[in-house]
Amino acid sequence: MKIKILFFLLLGIAAGAQTNRFFYEYKFIPDSNNKEEVKKEMMLLDINKKGSAYYSRDKFVADSTSRAELEKQIKSGSGSISVNRRDKPGQVSYKVTKDYPDFKTYLFTSVSTDQYKIKEDQKPEWKILPDKQKIGEYNTQKAITSYGGREWTAWFTSEIPFQDGPYKFYGLPGLIVKMEDATGSHIMTLIGNKTLESPSPENETQLPDNVRILGIGGKELEITKDQYKKVWKSYVNDPTKNMREMMMRNGGDSNTKFAFKMKTADGKELSDPNQVFKEMEKRTKETLQKNNNPIEPDMTK
């Protein structure tokens, strides 16, 4: 049975007509000061002959729905665009891609209203150990690495012939079934897989020049990790800077109208831009304080 499974997986890659989708349960502790709060997210690792993509299932569904709504509004020609927050927007906003055969790796993420494509310049350096254990239906072997400011343990299986894994991890002689950092703050475990027809490339939603919406439309700005660190520090110090600058740039355009509305925690509606920005800054800083335990600490130092 295992021989047949391997054969069909290899056949799918060779034919180039299929994607092998692997489902990972991602458990993480966002706040290092509150280790009792463990969050979960279903992550997808899609592998085809060109490479792989690792991303949140909930975010993918939410973005697809928002994108469809946005395209409908743009085509209507009404001149009014409204984007509502989804009920389940996903807790993990980033995406990681790897290009085969050299495993060129990119992290796609956003800061405020800007989207970034960050090339990874560090390759995981593994030490394979003799330890073995069965995880689910797979026989796995242990490997360790130091990466992104954390010490990691991987369990990989040669029963699935892909030298890939969740997040930025790859390079072991088989698919990574489980990844866990030394503190137990980040754990990714393979829980299932299926084969599907490779989807057609998704058409990017084209927004009007004077409209910018977080995470929807537009192209990512490709930067280095050092450049990203500077962007992140600037955002932490002043979370609403981008939005204020956008409003100032378009303030003199008679064809551009801004409508700011926001509700406080106690239900009070704010419409004055200055009040909205103040509330946004307050909420952002509170959120950052509770999300102080990122998967890759070196990216936010």
Which range, of 151-165, 194-208, 214-228, averages the lowest pLDDT?
194-208
Reported confidence tier of residue 51, pLDDT bands at 50, 70, 90? very high
- Say if CB 55 and CB 21 are below 8 A apart: no
Nearest alpha carbon to residue 121 among 109, 111, 107: 107
Structural domains of the chain, count = 1
Domain that holds residue 153: 2-300
- Say if CB 147 and CB 124 are below 8 A apart: yes
Preceding amide of 161 cis, omega within 30: no
24: left (phi over 0), alpha (psi -120 to 50) or beta: beta
How confident is the model at residue 113, as a pLDDT? 81
How confident is the model at residue 279, as a pLDDT? 77
Q: What percent of the chain has pLDDT over 70?
A: 69
Other C-beta atoms lying within 10 Å of the C-beta of residue 19:
21
Which range, of 12-21, 116-125, 164-173, 278-287, averages the lowest pLDDT?
12-21
Q: Per-residue DSSP letters for 6-48?
A: HHHHHHHHHHT-EEEEEEEEEEE-S-TT-TT--EEEEEEEEEE
